[in-house]
Structure 1
Amino acid sequence: MKPFLTELFKGQSYDDKNFFLIAGPCVIESKELLEEVADKVSGICRNLGIPYVFKSSYRKANRTSASSFTGIGDHEALSLLKATGEKFGLPTTSDIHAHEEAAVAAEYADILQIPAFLCRQTDLLIAAGETGKIVNVKKGQFLSGPSMKFAVEKIRSTGNDKIILTERGTTFGYQDLVVDYRNIPWMQEHQVPVVMDVTHSLQQPNQTSGITGGNPQLISTIASAALAAGADGLFIETHPDPANAKSDGANMLRLDLMEALLEKLVKIRKAVV
């Protein structure tokens, strides 16, 4: 594990040979939702020795329809994210969408996440790097793993080497994604930890209904294959009631399925390492 990750997880007890987990509801809907998910997932991770980062977006800037939910307000959402992390002793992460958001979000989150569609935005990457926070860049659906070296170089140009890259699928036609597992070792060649974004890789975007579809029944398949391919971490969005979630309900894991899934994945990880 990279030293910056060891520092990030220093308050947690975990198996240092395990994968790390980034998980939470897609978007911040309420204090009650954040605490329910953080409480449940942190308890499971403690029992299984999995280091855990709590994730939820304070604002969703990339939505299919103008009528889609985007957030409860930036300040309120960021405050809830930070408070949840403090209450449950967890590092936190949320995505940012413009360079001016980096310094603001860095006051509340431990990891700044760069959305896949924005992974080439130079000013955004540099602003995130300049905060000194860990920066997790999601690979664009239109890019190969080797080409992500340029995103890494931009962040490193700020003197910040605390970088994670995340695979989240590749565009396949107009309304589907596929996962090319070669991207995991290819991105690890950039000397950074690599995460598999399991749930977003199962999206079916750009539906004419204005609501993104998904294949959550394949979550276990994608996660298992990623660990077999050597992924350092997994990203799994989860919600107690995905059908009524305000964002990405079609591909999130139902919260009550998390424990059995992680138990299985821990066994796979042990077999791989």
Structure 2
Amino acid sequence: MNTVNIGSITVGGRQPVALIAGPCVIEGYERSLKIGRAIKDIATRLGMPYIFKASFDKANRSSYASFRGPGLEEGLAILQKIKQELGVPVVSDIHDVSQVSAAAGVLDILQIPAFLSRQTDLVYQAALTGKAVNVKKGQFLAPNDMKNVITKMREAGNENILLTERGASFGYNNLVVDMRGLAIMRSFGYPVVFDATHSVQLPGGAGTSSAGQREFVSYLTRAAVAVGVDVLFMEVHDNPPEALCDGPNMLYVDQLEDLLRDVLAIDNVIRRHK
């Protein structure tokens, strides 16, 4: 199993499970920093490696009128400030090859959204930066299909690869998680991430936006850690009903610590089997 270094954090192998968490989208510097600081405080108390996430642009929206974020230039500037203030690595989505160079100058992980996981040019150009690249498995892909994505990145000479499960389409406006897929993708030799909050999303379920089932986040999280994932990805907010994006599936920050205590207990039991 390859390990991946992200700043001072190493993930994969038998390393403890790490956390990627933050708001869905950048909602200004102060609000985003507040959420990130609260998460970091929890992770620090628990001794859990932490990476901040927030999107500078949510390009895959249900409606043209949906909030997308501050955009590339302003968004990266905010992420750079948060990175310096919190002293943690940062990750955000990229959507086009034109964003790769600027994003690589700030981000510790370049993230390929699920809908773009088959976009060869984007995946390849991201890999060429040498940065860690996290590819979210498309809702339309089988776990074994991700071997082709790995090949594209290896062709670019990059072994800093992470693969994310975020649910598979199951009929209309619904996602399910096949836990077998986590083990299948991990067998390819790279760290696997479980996206605990997008996996409970109901895509387009609210008409002009996605709905979600936050009440199932804890169940899926504990199950995924028991399978043996290397990283948890969670969108977290101090008040999800106020969130400008993905509120119905985001976790309340004050619910996070209890869940992570369970996560670490489970990870401690199963790590020797990884």
TM-score normalised by the shorter chain: which range applies?
over 0.9
Matched letter for residue 191 of structure 1: G
The alignment of Structure 1 onto Structure 2 pairs a total of residues equal to 268
Within a 5 Å distance, the mapping from 1:79-94 to structure 2 comes to 79-94=77-92
Q: Relative contact order, CA 8 A, sep 6+: which one is greater?
A: 2
TM-score by length of 2: 0.94
- Give the secondary structure class of the aligned counterpart of 1:60: coil
Matched letter for residue 248 of structure 2: A
In structure 2, the residue matched to 1:237 is 235
Aligned identity (percent) is: 44
Among residues 251, 254, 268, which one is paired with 2:252 in the alignment? 254
Deviations 1:160-190 (A, max 9, x none): 1100000000000011000001111111122
Q: Is the contact between residue 89 and residue 108 of structure 2 (CA under 8 Å) also seen in structure 1? A: yes
1:9 aligns with 2:17: no
- Give the secondary structure class of the aligned counterpart of 1:37: helix
Return 82-91 or 205-214, whichever deviates more. Answer: 205-214
Once the 2 structures are TM-superposed, how far is the Cα of residue 76 of structure 1 from its aligned partner?
A: 1.2
Q: Distance in 1 between matches of 2:70 and 2:230?
A: 32
In structure 2, the residue matched to 1:40 is 38
- Give the secondary structure class of the aligned counterpart of 1:135: strand
Q: Distance in 1 between matches of 2:55 and 2:209?
A: 18
1:162 aligns with 2:141: no
Q: 1:61 to 1:122 in 2, by over 3 A?
A: same
Matched letter for residue 159 of structure 1: G
In structure 1, the residue matched to 2:197 is 199
Matched letter for residue 100 of structure 2: A
Once the 2 structures are TM-superposed, how far is the Cα of residue 49 of structure 1 from its aligned partner?
A: 1.4
Q: Is the contact between residue 9 and residue 51 of structure 1 (CA under 8 Å) also seen in structure 2? A: no
Matched letter for residue 104 of structure 1: A
TM-score by length of 1: 0.95
Q: Distance in 1 between matches of 2:206 and 2:248?
A: 15
- Give the secondary structure class of the aligned counterpart of 1:164: strand
In structure 1, the residue matched to 2:115 is 117
Gaps of 5+ in 1: none
Within a 5 Å distance, the mapping from 1:163-202 to structure 2 comes to 163-202=161-200
Q: 1:10 to 1:67 in 2, by over 3 A?
A: closer
Instruction: Supply the RMSD in Å over aligned alpha carbons.
Output: 1.5
Gaps of 5+ in 2: none
- Give the secondary structure class of the aligned counterpart of 1:127: helix
